């Protein structure tokens, strides 16, 4: 649950936003009742690069079957990944503002942009049930909200797909992934999730969509997809707001 301080801060921020003119979250130009101006929407979320259909890393157009070399050599458990943008400046600051600056109004914007990316993807095959990557109790208490679930709720409405927020649960607290070397991330999240026993029949033979805010190595999404496939999911797609490029 949010602390009293967090609740008051969110209320104060919401109140101020009603008194001040709306401005674009990226360029800060005045806009009418929107969080993103048309120019920034087109510049950062318009034309997308060709991406690997499994992990969404940008590809050279000649890459065979739209799958990157890493996914060809070591196929992940998830089948598709669709993202709105790369996790790079200035989008990274927008995500950080959402997660750590408590700008919860951005959740609906992220969901709208992700919906557009999903519906525009020619390879898409919509999931039948959505779930969000869960937070551990300690981190949920510290932050006051699960950023992935906040995106998932409006995305579910935009797509007309049911959301089960309790489908996957954390079994233990983990070190924050962003603080770890890429090689340590898979080990960090291994066996840290469980499927809700009451939801097992819901996923058998179904296409499940997992929502997350940022995908870096894909370790967390690999672990959740492995869990879902183990209990009978036919297909797993990741719907992620931003993808960290490989360097």
CB of 50 closer than 8 Å to CB of 61 = yes
- What's the pLDDT at 235? 97
Cα separation of 118 and 74, whole Å?
Answer: 25
Cα separation of 45 and 219, whole Å?
Answer: 25
Q: What confidence category does residue 247 fall into, taking pLDDT thresholds of 50, 70 and 90?
A: low
- Interval 107-145: pLDDT, tens: 999 999 999 999 998 777 899 999 999 998 888 999 999
- What's the pLDDT at 38? 94
Residue 230 has pLDDT above 80, yes or no: yes
Does domain 50-243 bear CATH number 3.40.50.2020?
yes
| 161: three-class secondary structure by DSSP | coil
Domain spans of the chain?
A: 50-243
Of the candidates 203, 205, 201, 95, the residue with the CA atom closest to the CA atom of residue 150: 95
- Interval 51-88: pLDDT, tens: 999 999 999 876 557 899 999 999 999 999 999 999 99
State percent of the chain over pLDDT 90.
68
Cα separation of 205 and 236, whole Å?
Answer: 11
Q: What are the Cα distances from residue 42, in Å, to 111, 141, 161?
A: 16, 36, 26
Cα separation of 34 and 52, whole Å?
Answer: 31
CB of 245 closer than 8 Å to CB of 87 = yes
CB of 223 closer than 8 Å to CB of 192 = yes
Selected residue with higher pLDDT from 192 and 99: 99
Task: Tell me the pLDDT of the chain averaged across its residues.
Answer: 87
Of the candidates 148, 146, 120, 118, the residue with the CA atom closest to the CA atom of residue 211: 148
The DSSP secondary structure of 7-47, one letter per residue, reads HHHHHHHHHHHHHSPPB-TTT--B-SS-SS-HHHHHHHHTS
Cα separation of 100 and 120, whole Å?
Answer: 30
Q: What are the Cα distances from residue 194, in Å, to 1, 162, 164, 180, 189?
A: 22, 20, 14, 22, 12
Cis before residue 186, ω within 30 degrees of 0?
no
Strands 168-170 and 193-195, by their bridges, are: antiparallel
**H-helix segments, the chain:** 4-19, 38-45, 69-73, 91-100, 106-120, 137-143, 147-159, 182-189, 200-203, 219-230
- What's the pLDDT at 174? 65
């Amino acid at each position: 649950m949010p602390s009293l301080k967090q609740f008051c801060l969110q209320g104060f921020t919401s109140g101020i936003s009603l008194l001040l003119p709306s401005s674009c979250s990226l360029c800060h130009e005045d806009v009418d009742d929107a969080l993103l101006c048309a120019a920034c929407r087109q510049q950062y979320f318009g034309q997308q690069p060709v991406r690997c259909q499994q992990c969404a890393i940008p590809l050279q157009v000649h890459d065979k079957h739209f799958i990157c070399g890493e996914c060809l050599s070591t196929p992940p458990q998830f089948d598709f990944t669709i993202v709105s943008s790369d996790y790079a400046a200035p989008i990274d600051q927008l995500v950080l503002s959402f997660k750590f600056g408590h700008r919860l109004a951005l959740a609906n914007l992220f969901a709208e942009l992700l919906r557009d990316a999903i519906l525009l993807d020619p390879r898409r095959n919509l999931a039948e049930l959505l779930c969000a990557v869960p937070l551990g109790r300690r981190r949920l208490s510290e932050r006051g909200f699960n950023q992935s679930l906040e995106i998932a709720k409006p995305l579910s409405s935009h797509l007309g797909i049911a959301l089960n927020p309790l489908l996957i649960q954390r079994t233990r607290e983990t070190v924050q992934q962003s603080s770890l070397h890429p090689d340590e991330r898979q080990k960090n999240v291994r066996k840290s999730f469980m499927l809700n026993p009451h939801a097992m029949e819901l996923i058998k033979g179904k296409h499940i969509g997992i929502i997350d805010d940022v995908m870096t190595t894909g370790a967390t999404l690999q672990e959740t997809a492995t869990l879902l496939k183990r209990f009978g999911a036919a297909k797993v797609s990741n719907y992620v707001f931003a993808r960290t490029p490989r360097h």
